[in-house]
Structure 1
């Protein structure tokens, strides 16, 4: 029992409080060194070399995971999803607007432009005001404005089948102002 107390005193001396990262690394390092010594004494240099390789591989994998490597490239951790699909971006907006105002733009407005406007408004409302547009449409309507809300309302069809250019300008101005 006295030996265990001495080891605990050595491990805890100046190595941080139990549960801290520094303390955990010290305990793991001490365990790894002790394992290597026991492997070398019991089975020789070949077993010690194999143990060292295994400990190194595990340490590298744990370090990479702790540093967030899994979040960046393997997709093991689930991404936070604020919106229904990919993040809204401004790339391709000239084409989207041109197709919406073309002769057959009614279908394009309903299939492409309106969902994109909804995503942009949902992102802005969530980012700047903490309002989930799809969960709290009354609050979102109050922030967007009653005159523009019907154009992006997720629960109702648009007031007209085609989007007038002044309404698009007003929507974009309001989006910028939010």
Structure 2
């Protein structure tokens, strides 16, 4: 037996909230039907057929865009989607390196330099190898190399509190080689 609370819960699940996909589709569908009826009443069968063709074309374009966003831009957004953020830039790189290599650069290494290196490696791995560094760390580690991986692995602490210059050179050489 269905209780009033259960009936109310089922009724609430059927009603869609404004802004939801279901609500948006319902509003667009209702508008399309209303436009078709108005075109049929005002312009006859020819106007209704033209309106139906236009509505169908717009619906297909929207579905294609939603289903295959990469098809719209030849996959240019794929590396950025693998990063889960915008592509990193090298602005202020000299300052970042200088502060990380300076005496007392431990905090700068942990808060600025290491995250920047992680983003650069993630971008390169996504761009050139199609590997999401954070989702597939084993594959990323194999590409970067086991000796350099601890410096960019966000799940581990750095092997040393400071970044030695030879390690930085090795990291940058490997980044360039990827």
TM-score bucket (shorter structure) = 0.5 to 0.7
| 1:112-144 deviations in Å (ceiling 9; x for gaps) | 100000000011111111111111100000000
Decide whether the 8 Å contact of 2:83 with 2:132 is kept in 1.
no
- Take 1:8 and 1:86, find their aligned partners in 2: how far apart are those partners? 45
Decide whether the 8 Å contact of 2:83 with 2:126 is kept in 1.
no
> In the alignment, what sits opposite 1:128?
128
Instruction: State the 1:170 CA deviation.
Output: 0.7
5+ residue gaps, structure 2: 1-42, 59-79
- Take 1:130 and 1:171, find their aligned partners in 2: how far apart are those partners? 20
| Residues 11-160 of structure 1 aligned to structure 2 (within 5 Å) | 11=50, 19=53, 82-83=82-83, 87-160=87-160
Instruction: State the 1:85 CA deviation.
Output: 5.2
Instruction: State the 1:91 CA deviation.
Output: 1.1
4+ long deviations beyond 2 Å:
7-12, 18-21, 80-87
- Take 1:11 and 1:95, find their aligned partners in 2: how far apart are those partners? 62
Distance 1:10 1:133, change over 3 A: closer
RMSD over equivalenced CA pairs, Å:
3.0
> In the alignment, what sits opposite 2:163?
163
Q: TM-score, normalised by structure 2?
A: 0.56
- Take 1:110 and 1:9, find their aligned partners in 2: how far apart are those partners? 64
| 1:6-64 deviations in Å (ceiling 9; x for gaps) | x269959xxxxx7469x969xxxxxxxxxxxxxxxxxxxxxxxxxxxxxxxxxxxxxxx
Q: TM-score, normalised by structure 1?
A: 0.56
Distance 1:10 1:146, change over 3 A: closer
- Take 2:48 and 2:169, find their aligned partners in 1: how far apart are those partners? 71
- Take 1:147 and 1:99, find their aligned partners in 2: how far apart are those partners? 24
Aligned residues: 116
Instruction: State the 1:86 CA deviation.
Output: 5.0
5+ residue gaps, structure 1: 13-17, 26-79
CA radius of gyration, larger in: 1
- Take 2:129 and 2:53, find their aligned partners in 1: how far apart are those partners? 38
**Higher relative contact order, chain-length normalized (CA < 8 Å, sep 6+):** 2
